[in-house]
Amino acid sequence: MVPEVQYSSGSSHNDKEPTALNSAAFDVEQQAVAEAHLRNTTIKSIAWKGVKVTVKDRKTKLPKSIVDDVEGVVEAGELFAIMGPSGCGKTTLLNFLASRPTGPSSSTSGKILVNGNPMDSRSLTLFHRTTSRFVEQEDTMIGSLTVRETLHFASRLATASSSSERISRVEGLLDAFGLREQANTLVGTPLRKGISGGQKRRLGVASQLITGPKVLFLDEPTSGLDSVAGWEVVKYLRGVTKRNNLIVIASIHQPSTATFNLFDKLLLMSHGKMHYFGPVAAVTSHYKSLGHQVPVHVNPAEFLLELVNTDFTTDKDTASRQLEDMHLAWMNSVKSTELRVLLDSIEKAGSNAVIDLGTPEKKPTHIRLVLTLLHRSFLKSYRDVVVYGIRLMMYMGLAIMMGTVWLRLDTSQESIIPIINALFYGSAFLSFMACAYSPAYIEDYMQYIKEKRNGLYGATSMIVSNFLIGTPYLLSVGGFMVPPTILNVFYKYVFHYWDYQKYAFENMLINEFSERVYVCQKTATDCQFHVQDDKGVGHPRPANAKKGTYLKAHQKSRENA
C-alpha cells in the first residue's frame, strides 16, 4: 500500500517575534530562532532500491543502461555524496531521486521509500514540491541584485510569510552561510564584478533554504571552485544540516580531502553501477580489504576515482573486466550485504502511515507574485549595465547622428517631411532598442526555469510580469501613423496615453516646429505639411488639390489672408 502524504494542522513555524537581527554576530539562541523554519522533525530517511535508468543510445539506437541497479539510504542529519568519474550517471541518479526528468526517451524503474514507505509518483511529486529543493550545477542568479535582495526575493516568491518572519530567515541564512559581510554587495554580472564563485554557490544554497525544505539535492556544488571555496560551501552546508537535522544529497566530482571528509556517506559509481555505499570514514578500509590500499598522503577521493575510471586506459577490454570484477567484489562484500539488510528493515518498519509534512507555507497570490516579479525586473532594468548602460550609449550615438543630419536642414518646404521622418525615426529607435534587452532576457529565462522547477511560480506570472514591464517598449501608437483624434478608441485609451513614445515624439515635434513659420504658396499642392488648428480640426482640402497630396493650409496663411 502506498502511504498518503499530508499536512498536519500544528504550526512548524517560529511563533516568537524575531529578535533584532542586525550586523551583530548571531549567538546560538538567535540562530535557533532564525532557523526554526528549517528544523526537520518529520523526514527520517530516504531510501531507494533497484534504481535503473535506461536510454535509447544516440548512436546505436539500442537500449543503454546509464544507472544500473543502484540502492542506498540517507538518514536525517546526514550529508550524502554521489561520486564517480564524469559520465558515470551521478546527475541521472540525482534527478531520479528528486523526481526530475532523467533525459529524453529514458525509462526508469525502482523504488523510493520515504520513512520506509514506498512512494508512488503522485505522492513523490507532492513530497518534493513541499519538502525538497534542488540546487543546480549552473545556478542562475540575477547579477544586479544584492545578496540580501536575492534572498528576500526568493522568500517573497516562495511564501506569503510576514515581513518580520522573512527578515528573520534572511538574516539567519546570511549568518549561516558566512555572507554577512557581502549582504549589500551585488551578485555580479559579466561586466560588473560581484561576489566570488564560492560565495555565489553558498548564496544559491541559502536561497533554496529560505523556504525551509527538509531535503536538499545539489548537483556538483563544488565544481569550478578552488579547494578552499569548495570546502567552505560544504562546511556551511554541513553546519545547517547538522543543526536542523536535514537530509542532503549531492553529486560531487573530485573533492579535496578536507571537503570529502565533510560528507557522512558515500556512493561510488562507475558506468552506472555501484562500487561502494557506506560511511566515508569506512571507504579506505573497504578498499584495503579488496587489495587496494590508499597510499599515505594521497587524497582518497582522487585515488578511488582513478581506480574506477576506465576513460583514459589504452587497454579498454582489460580495464572493463577489472571494473566488472570490482563491481562484483562490492556486490559480494559485507558492506553490501549490510546495506540490503538495512534497506529491508527500513521497509519493514515503514508503517504505511501518513507522512506528516508539517504545516504548509501559505503561498503568495498570483497578483503578489506578479508584483514581486515586476519589482525584481524593475531593479534589474535600471541597475544592469547590459539592459540600461548599453542603451544609454546607443541613445547618445543616435543624438549625435540626428543632430548632425539636422544641421543641413533649413526651413524650406522640402525640409518638413525629412524632419518629421527624422523625429519619428528617433522616437521609434527608442522602441526598437528594446532588442538590447535580449541578453538580459536570457538571464530572466534561466531564472524562470530554475524557479519554476522548484515550484515557486508558473508561466502565467512570468508572462504577465514580463508583458507589463515590456509593453511600453513594444507598442507604437504615438500618433505618427494615425493622429489620436481619429485613432480607434481601444488603442487610444488602452495604449496611446501611456506609450512613452507618444510623449517623446510630441515633444520633439513641439521642440522643432513650435517657433517656426512655414508659408504655403497659394496652390495647396506646394504645402508639404498638414496642419490642424487649435481644436485639432483639419483644414479643408482645396478643390484643385490632387488627392493624396499634403493639403492642409498653414495657420499663418489664414492669418495673412
Ligand X SMILES: Nc1ncnc2c1ncn2[C@@H]1O[C@H](COP(=O)(O)OP(=O)(O)OP(=O)(O)O)[C@@H](O)[C@H]1O
**SS3 state of residue 55:** strand
Contacts for 29 with CB less than 8 Å, ≥ 6 apart: none
Question: Which residue, 152 or 450, is less far from ligand X as judged by CB?
Answer: 450
Does the protein bind ligand X through residue 90 (CB under 6 A)? Answer: yes
Q: SS3 sequence, 382-426?
A: HHCHHHHHHHHHHHHHHHHHHHHHHCCCCCCHHHHHHHHHHHHHH
Of the candidate residues 19, 33, 39, 87, the single one contacting ligand X (CB under 6 A): 87
Site for ligand X in 36-75 (CB under 6 A): 55-58, 64, 66
Amino acid at site 1? M
- What minimum distance in Å lies between the beta carbon of 442 and ligand X? 22
> For residues 161 and 251, which CB has a smaller minimum distance to ligand X in the complex?
251
CA dihedral 110→115→118→124, nearest 10 degrees, is -80
Q: Least CB distance from residue 482 to ligand X, whole Å? A: 55
Please identify, using beta-carbon distances, which residue of 66 and 215 lies nearer to ligand X: 66
Distance in Å, CB of 315 to ligand X, minimum: 20
Output the smallest distance, CB 57 to ligand X, in A: 4
Binding of ligand X by 91 (CB under 6 A): yes
Phi, psi of 488 (to 5 degrees): -50, 135
Burial 218-246 (b: 16+ CB within 10 A, else e): bbbbbeebeeebbbbbbebbeebbebbbb
Q: Which of residues 336-375 bind ligand X (CB under 6 A)?
A: none
85/172 with CB nearer ligand X: 85
Cell numbers for 331: 556486490
Residue 88 touching ligand X (CB under 6 A) = yes
Q: Is 416 exposed, middle or buried (0-12, 13-18, 19+ CB in 10 A)?
A: buried
* Residue 68 vs 512, nearer CB to ligand X: 68
Q: Which of 37, 128, 148, 253 touches ligand X by CB under 6 A? A: 253
List the interface residues with ligand X, window 383-442 (CB under 6 A).
none
Angle CA 178–181–187, to nearest 5 = 90
For ligand X, the closer of residues 89 and 194 by Cβ is 89
Q: Taking the complex as a whole, how short is the minimal distance between the CB of residue 71 and ligand X, in angstroms?
A: 17
Shortest spacing between CB 364 and ligand X, in angstroms? 34
| 86 near ligand X (CB under 6 A) | yes
Site stretch for ligand X (CB under 6 A), options 31-39, 82-90, 166-174, 377-385: 82-90
222 binds ligand X (CB under 6 A): no
Residues 351 and 357: their CA atoms lie apart, in Å, by 16
DSSP H or E stretch at residue 63 = strand 63-75
- Phi, psi of 328, rounded to the nearest 5 degrees: -65, -35
Kindly tell me which of 73 and 94 has the beta carbon lying closer to ligand X: 94
Amino acid at 323: L
Task: Yes or no: say if 8 and 358 are a contact pair by the CB < 8 Å rule.
Answer: yes
Residue nearer to ligand X on the CB measure, 107 or 460: 107
**Which of 103, 397, 458, 483 is in the footprint of ligand X by CB under 6 A?**
103
Residue choice 14, 92, 159, 254 for contact with ligand X (CB under 6 A): 92
Number of residues that bind ligand X (CB under 6 A): 16
Closest-by-Cβ residue to ligand X is 87
95 backbone dihedrals φ, ψ, rounded to 5°: -65, -40
Reading the block at residue 324, the C-alpha cell is 566488472
User: Which grid coordinates are listed for 442?
Assistant: 536570457
Q: Between 94 and 209, whose beta carbon lies closer to ligand X?
A: 94
Q: Return all residues near 535 (Cβ < 8 A) that are at least 6 apart.
A: none
Residues paired with 53 in a beta bridge: 67, 108
Residue 52: CB minimum distance to ligand X, A: 13
Candidate list 3, 18, 89, 478; residue touching ligand X; CB under 6 A: 89
Indicate the residue among 38 and 66 with the shorter CB distance to ligand X: 66
108 binds ligand X (CB under 6 A): no
Site residues (vs ligand X, CB under 6 A): 55-58, 64, 66, 84, 86-92, 103, 253
